[in-house]
Structure 1
Amino acid sequence: MTFSSLAFLFYFLPLVLMFYYLFFFSRTLKNIVLLICSLFFYTFGEPKYILLLLISIVVNYLIGLLIGEAKGRKKAATFWMSVAVIFNLSTLVVFKYLTFISKNVYYATGGKTQVIEIALPIGISFFTFQAISYVVDVYKKDAKAQKNLFHLALYLSFFPKLTQGPVMKYEAFAPQITQRRETFKKFSSGVCFFITGLGKKVLLANNMAIVVDRIFEIHKMGNIPISLAWLGAFAYTFQIYFDFSGYSDMAVGLGLMFGFKLDRNFNYPYISKSISEFWRRWHISLGTWFRDYLYFPLGGSRVINKDLLIRNLAIVWIATGVWHGANWTFLVWGIINFVFIAMEKVFRFEQLKIPSFIRHLYAMLVVIIGWVIFRANSLQEAGSYLTCMFNFISNEFFSDYTYMFLKEFWIFFIGAILFSLPIASIANQFMAKGILIRKNVDLTPPFKEHSVYVEVPLVRVISFLYPIGMVLLFIICIAYMVKGSYNPFIYFQF
């Protein structure tokens, strides 16, 4: 059950909201409703792995208490924190990487070993990292050990962020469990966030997915023309952004409906002028997690020489690549990001006087190449596809397929380009300057010199039209969902 499914929109969410606000008089009962519904949400998608989530909750709860009780005994606290980290990472390795490892051993030994097939539990990368955040925050005394098992369970299983994040730090989420306030402003903002995210997913990401899947299928049959290869790469660049940012907007919106403030995950990454800036704008919560729990403990950028800086960056980006999936493509993708970020830091790229449009072209070229590798099923497929993109010598350029896809999906490509830009921010600045809509009113026609202008603030007009636009967007999304095919979120596999 995904956020963009009819079952979620018309059955699960209305029932959760109804039961939640039915207990308006009790914060405890509201939290119990959220916990029960969150566990049901996970059970609906992964019934056989609900036990894994519950074990993770209980183990991290007990170890958190042991760390908290250690107090001045540093060695004891360190021991229990290490046990928790090893437990969580071991869980991740077994369920996410054991199949991949066993397959590689199988091929390396010529089929003399057995392949171990384990289905990947939904959201394991996200709730495992949040569990590590909890025990480390308690160890560092950034947060107190949670004595209420149900509160920790809600932190780890809260359904808006359970399957795809954001990866929230415990210290940011914990106070909201007991101190949040639900208001009409929060709820209405949450609804708008949710509908916006739904539009990104259903209208933009899903239509881009059709283009991407078809082009990659055509590529499997042989080389494809340059224009078609680039169109597929551009389409996937838009697909993964609107798929994941759409989910993130929906998660933020759902959180606001229940009074929670969840972290924003995206800040228009495709306007970046360097790879370092791109990763400050893309999947912000994951980047923050790696910064706080891996990069800084290693020494970060404040090290005595560049060798240690490069080592720290290498560890972080290899870990980032591996976190995304059990495939050599993700590892190579992480290494590519490491190489360019390391070069930017060593040569202080962001301080160089290079024209903005050149910096932007450089950043987007690296990002697009990275997404092709990310999308490919194997390094061989990625290499073949990239060859089609850059083989300007022997590969043909034009293709009837390119024209066909552009003719059928041009409106979605234009929408994807426009909504990749900070249009809302620009509009807010426009309205903040007091730009007005002026209506000519002749008081004493035909004496034009006596005409006056009635000034209507633009913000008032937008405020009136905005709810109407949201309703229309929701109706259009539902229409597409009813007639369209099921298309799961990309990050469900992570």
Structure 2
Amino acid sequence: MNRFYDIFTFSEDFPLIFTQVNFWIFFAVAYFIFALLYKKVPLRNSYLFLISLFFYYKTSGLFIGILIFSTLVDFFIGRTIYKTDHKNKRLALVTLSVFINLLVLCYFKYAYFFTDAFNALFNTDYHVLNVLAQWGNSFSDQNYFTIDKIILPVGISFYTFQTISYSVDIYRKKLKPLNSILDFGFYVSFFPQLVAGPIVRAESFVPQISKPTILTKHNFDAGTYLILKGLIKKMLFADFIAMHFLDRVFDSPEMFSGFANIMAMIGYSLQIYGDFSGYTDIAIGLALLMGFELPKNFNSPYKATNAGDFWKRWHISLSTWLRDYLYIPLGGNRQGTTASYIILGIILLGVMFAFDDLIIVGTILMTSLALFILSLYNSKVRNQINTNINLMLTMLIGGLWHGASWKYVIWGGLNGLGIVVYKFWRKISPYEFKNQWYVRTWKILVTFIFITFTRIYFRGESMGHISRWYSQVVNNMDWTHAVDILVHYQAVFWVMAIGYLTHWLPETFKNKIEVIYSKSPVYIKIAFAVSTGVICYQAFSSDFQPFIYFQF
């Protein structure tokens, strides 16, 4: 009874996370009620909105107020945009929507980042003050809120991008606004994907809101299969190798050999894929059980043959969002804009401060100057530069979206550089149009190595931490004890091998497994679910392992 009470009241010790038993008890109760009223569309939407608010409250407590604020702002701005015919007023309204959303996001996510950057640039000593907490304390003699610390609300980056897409799509006349604020709130807060995506476009999800729920055997089979697959990815291929090897190495890279640090990076690529794609598999599966379709977010990313191909397969909902709402407005592959150059200048300045290395700073300045001079005398070069500037800006900002630190910007920049380099390489590559298995294997291997080892800027806690990792790899590989590492952590490496093997299996083979599951009798499905649960929880630790993308 105490557990049931904890599930339905707010407690930081009992969050509703997909890998926790508490969530599945919550979902069973919520789904039972959903089954009683899903045929009445307005009631269904209102119920799912309230359940989603409760889910977010369980995850983030009083930060539910920020979610409600975003919902109210964009609902009324969206309606006003639609009713307004005057072009400049429509532009002003959509600009207001984007400004308010980004202001809230920047306040909670980037206040420390911007303050530190300003202090470094102008040699000042400003400190972050939680204005909202100070305002909240003014209503009482008791100081309930801490004013010297800003806490990041879970999932704010995801639902902020969703509300922005709603206003922009109405402005572009791709979408009619919803008439009910409860329906719009349901779109913004739908609990399966609320805190870690996939990012749902208004134009793809809003039309589903007004349609009646049709629960089919296909939805049930596909949904349960995705849920079980997601649990395996998260709890076995992500959490197990993290708890038993990766976290130990990354916590103290200097205590392990360079070989162990390299193996940890290879393991981290599996961990972050299993963690994030596992979450989205479960989210998509849960939505299917309720009759809704969420966008596919991963497409075997480690089968990518180049960096551009990788970003068409990894976090697809973010990549396409950045393409349609950032890259194309900046000019895309057609032209550069004033905004492009201003943003690029700010980011380059920040990167130079982050590295604090005269050689790197000099290289950036000289390269920028040389490209500028070339662009003045050659229109083809100018067009290439503009296209690649827009691409690099998209990747740099995409990196910053992942975290408020220059290391994320550097990570995004390296990925952008990988895409740009490939664009030139494919024009002269003798292997570009060859499809032999060994050529494709080589391309996949090179891409995987590039993606994996740029992630040290993603995983490393600080630039100093990253430097210690590099130091071990360069100065202390210690090949003589490599076999000892493999033997001592053999369970981890076996799980890694199985994880990558299943990832690289042909898609046709994976589809056959899903078909076999769908056609199997109910008792086989139950046996598969029970065995999956037993395996996952045997590998599970009592230590709480949140999903990595909760921090974004």
Distance 1:148 1:394, change over 3 A: closer
Query: Matched residues in 2 for 1:474 and 1:35: separation?
Result: 29
CA deviations over 1:96-130 (Å, ceiling 9, x no partner): 00022224445667773224431000000000000
Is 2:44 aligned against 1:30? yes
Code of the aligned partner of 1:226? G
Structure 2 residue aligned with 1:68 = 82
Distance 1:103 1:353, change over 3 A: same
Is 2:126 aligned against 1:89? no
Q: How does 1:91-170 map to 2 (within 5 A)?
A: 91-106=104-119, 112-116=125-129, 117-170=149-202
Distance 1:132 1:407, change over 3 A: same
Q: How does 1:40-79 map to 2 (within 5 A)?
A: 40-71=54-85, 73-79=86-92
Structure 2 residue aligned with 1:190 = 223
Query: Matched residues in 2 for 1:147 and 1:204: separation?
Result: 44
Where 2:154 maps in the other structure, the secondary structure is: coil
Is 2:339 aligned against 1:324? no
Where 1:53 maps in the other structure, the secondary structure is: helix
Query: Matched residues in 1 for 2:221 and 2:528: separation?
Result: 14
Where 1:40 maps in the other structure, the secondary structure is: helix
Range that drifts further, 308-317 or 111-120: 111-120
Is 2:528 aligned against 1:469? yes
Q: How does 1:213-232 map to 2 (within 5 A)?
A: 213-219=247-253, 222=254, 224-232=256-264
Shift of the alpha carbon at 1:407? 2.1
Query: Matched residues in 2 for 1:269 and 1:350: separation?
Result: 25
Q: How does 1:447-458 map to 2 (within 5 A)?
A: none
Q: How does 1:24-423 map to 2 (within 5 A)?
A: 24-71=38-85, 73-106=86-119, 112-116=125-129, 117-179=149-211, 180-210=213-243, 211-219=245-253, 222=254, 224-303=256-335, 305-348=383-426, 352-353=430-431, 355-389=439-473, 391=474, 395-399=477-481, 402-423=485-506
Code of the aligned partner of 1:370? T
CA deviations over 1:368-420 (Å, ceiling 9, x no partner): 1111110001122223313433x2x6642243762355323233112211222
Structure 2 residue aligned with 1:487 = 545
Tell whether the 8 Å contact from 1:197 to 1:246 is kept in structure 2 after alignment: yes
Where 1:348 maps in the other structure, the secondary structure is: helix
Where 1:252 maps in the other structure, the secondary structure is: helix
Query: Matched residues in 2 for 1:189 and 1:160: separation?
Result: 16
Tell whether the 8 Å contact from 2:257 to 2:476 is kept in structure 1 after alignment: no
Give unpaired runs (5+ residues) of structure 2.
Answer: 1-15, 130-148, 336-379, 433-438
Query: Matched residues in 1 for 2:158 and 2:476: separation?
Result: 45
CA deviations over 1:158-202 (Å, ceiling 9, x no partner): 001110011111010011112142223212321221111011111
Tell whether the 8 Å contact from 2:163 to 2:188 is kept in structure 1 after alignment: yes
Code of the aligned partner of 2:478? E
CA deviations over 1:134-161 (Å, ceiling 9, x no partner): 0000000010122211111111100011
Shift of the alpha carbon at 1:278? 0.6
Distance 1:476 1:357, change over 3 A: closer
Query: Matched residues in 2 for 1:87 and 1:267: separation?
Result: 33
Code of the aligned partner of 1:30? R
Code of the aligned partner of 1:397? W
Tell whether the 8 Å contact from 1:228 to 1:399 is kept in structure 2 after alignment: no
Tell whether the 8 Å contact from 1:96 to 1:326 is kept in structure 2 after alignment: yes
Shift of the alpha carbon at 1:466? 5.7
Tell whether the 8 Å contact from 2:257 to 2:472 is kept in structure 1 after alignment: yes
TM-score by length of 2: 0.79
Distance 1:59 1:352, change over 3 A: farther
Structure 2 residue aligned with 1:436 = none
Q: RMSD of the TM alignment (CA)?
A: 2.5
Where 1:298 maps in the other structure, the secondary structure is: coil
Where 1:486 maps in the other structure, the secondary structure is: coil
Structure 2 residue aligned with 1:451 = none
Query: Matched residues in 2 for 1:243 and 1:427: separation?
Result: 19
Tell whether the 8 Å contact from 2:225 to 2:517 is kept in structure 1 after alignment: no
Distance 1:255 1:111, change over 3 A: same
Percent identity between matched residues is 32
Tell whether the 8 Å contact from 2:402 to 2:408 is kept in structure 1 after alignment: yes
Matched residues, number? 463
Query: Matched residues in 1 for 2:198 and 2:269: separation?
Result: 20
Shift of the alpha carbon at 1:297? 1.9
Is 2:18 aligned against 1:3? yes
Where 2:262 maps in the other structure, the secondary structure is: helix
Query: Matched residues in 1 for 2:231 and 2:126: separation?
Result: 45
